[in-house]
């Protein structure tokens, strides 16, 4: 390859000898002005830079996809933690409602335990959702305590 160096005001230009197919040179000659280049050398220079830029962008795009994937997994993990905390809070609220109902209705402790056991079974067998129609099928008789002045908390 023959090289010859000349200095341009804006950049250093190096002349080289390149062998290209006649069809490629014809395309460069026919299209360099259409793309806004003064000559085919500028056009070929821009084409090489474009090709290399696309390769760099393709590599960069892969890196961006990898970073995005890591961010996405992190966000999912944060969402799972948030949902776990929310589920715990809901369970506490439900337990408080159950305790309130048991106290207000004066349901014996053993009956509450049986109800809880049925509830756990229903929730586990239905993957967490028990519609009222299903709960009605599993109802049980509950005896209510007769409230007297002498009753103490051990009856609950």
- Per-domain residue ranges of the chain: 107-156
Specify the range with the lowest mean pLDDT, choosing from 2-11, 37-46, 47-56, 121-130.
Answer: 2-11
First to last CA, the chain: 99
Helix, strand or coil for residue 19?
A: coil
CB 32 within 8 A of CB 42: yes
CB 14 within 8 A of CB 4: yes
User: Could you give the CA distance from residue 57 to residue 52 in angstroms, rounded to a whole number?
Assistant: 9
- 42-98 pLDDT, tens digit each: 999 999 998 888 888 888 878 888 888 888 888 888 888 888 888 878 877 777 777
Q: What is the pTM of this model?
A: 0.37
Q: What is the pLDDT of residue 81?
A: 87
User: Could you give the CA distance from residue 129 to residue 84 in angstroms, rounded to a whole number?
Assistant: 17
Helical spans, DSSP H, in 106-151: 109-125, 132-137
- Helix axis angle, 109-125 to 40-105, nearest 10°: 150
Q: Which residues pair with 16 in a beta bridge?
A: 3
DSSP H or E stretch at residue 5: strand 3-7
User: Could you give the CA distance from residue 48 to residue 42 in angstroms, rounded to a whole number?
Assistant: 10
Q: Using CA of residue 36, residue 42, residue 48, residue 52, what is the dihedral sign?
A: negative
């Amino acid at each position: 390859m023959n090289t010859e160096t000349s200095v341009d005001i804006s950049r250093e230009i190096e002349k080289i000898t390149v062998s290209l197919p006649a069809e490629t040179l014809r395309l460069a000659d026919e299209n360099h002005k259409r793309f806004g280049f003064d000559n085919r050398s500028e056009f070929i220079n821009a084409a090489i830079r474009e090709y290399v830029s696309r390769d760099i962008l393709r590599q960069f795009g892969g890196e961006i996809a990898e970073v995005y994937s890591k961010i996405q997994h992190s966000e999912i993990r944060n969402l799972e933690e948030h949902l776990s905390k929310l589920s715990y809070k809901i369970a506490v609220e439900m337990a408080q409602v159950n305790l309130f109902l048991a106290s207000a209705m004066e349901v014996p402790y053993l009956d509450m335990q049986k109800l809880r056991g049925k509830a756990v079974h229903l929730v586990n067998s239905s993957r967490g959702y028990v519609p009222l129609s299903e709960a009605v099928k599993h109802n049980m008789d509950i005896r209510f305590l007769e409230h007297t002045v002498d009753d103490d908390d051990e009856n609950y």
